[in-house]
Amino acid sequence: MMSEAKEKSRISAEVLRGVSETLLMPLWSRAVESARPDAILRDPKAKEIVEVLDYDFGRFARLGVDPVGYCSRAAIIDRLVQEWLEEHRAGTVVEIGVGLDTRFERLDNGRVVWYELDLPEVIALRRHFFAEEGRRRLLAASVFDSAWMKQVRAECSAPVLLVAEGVFYFFAEKELRQLFGQLAEQFPGGGLIFDCQSPWFLWYSRLRHPVRGSKLRWSLARVNNLERWIPGLKVRRWVGFGDSPYYDGHFRRFPPVFRWIRKVWPPARGAFKIVEVAFLEGANVQRDAK
């Protein structure tokens, strides 16, 4: 039973509603996963946050939320960001929709400048757990607000990598086309890493999505279709579901039916994708959605 002193020290998660509440699922997943001897990743900070947030995290287990998918996604994106940092050791990373993520703790190389962007109410909650100091900076704004883009561009001359984990599902394609245009205009020569699902897998995800008031909207059938969105957008690579070497070591943790479908039906590779695109310099970017 929690002591009275510990109960008083708990931090309310009341500000998280709708889409913002979804950030608690990957947080809980990383905390749960960290306790396993064969953990996909270890995140002691996530465990610390879960212990003090006043929220019924047990509901995720009761609803059958599987930490494996969230932790696999985080680990693969970590690897892609790490590979980018090996080429741009003093670069700039911007985490879009950072929530209560701990990627800076996992990947800081001592030189990278790291921005963490989310809505004001989320950043206010984040400040309880993470200090803004030195090379780590917090941005309280909508992803569509060009002011934060101009701030990052003014403060950093190094190459910029933008990372959006579990974010773009909640927007319409028209909104994302406009956003990609803004990012390409503000960060020429930069890159973007994000995850997405195929239309049929998004339908399946909607059936199982446990957070009310947060509708999954955007899906992507073919990755190369992104290059038609705006001039100067180039797909560098994408990781499909089950792809080696990114899933090596933990693919066995996925449900057997998922692994079987991936084996017998090659299109299942595209059910879930992690994509890296580049914004080419010198392109005549059209920001209006077509």
Q: Alpha helices of 19-66 — where are they, by DSSP H? A: 24-34, 44-52, 58-62
> Average per-residue pLDDT in the chain?
92
- Has residue 226 got a pLDDT over 60? yes
Q: What is the CATH number of domain 67-279?
A: 3.40.50.150
Contact yes or no for 10/54 (Cβ under 8 A): yes
Question: What six digits make up the tokens of 80?
Answer: 């892609």
* Residue 206 host element (H or E): helix 199-208
Find all residues with CB under 8 Å of 111, minimum gap 6, and list them: 89, 90, 135
- Has residue 5 got a pLDDT over 80? no
Question: What six digits make up the tokens of 48?
Answer: 């610390």
What residues does each domain of the chain span? Answer: 67-279
The overall pTM is greater than 0.85: yes
Per-residue pLDDT of 227-241, as tens digits, reads 999 999 999 999 999
Find all residues with CB under 8 Å of 179, minimum gap 6, and list them: 143, 144, 171
Contact yes or no for 272/218 (Cβ under 8 A): no
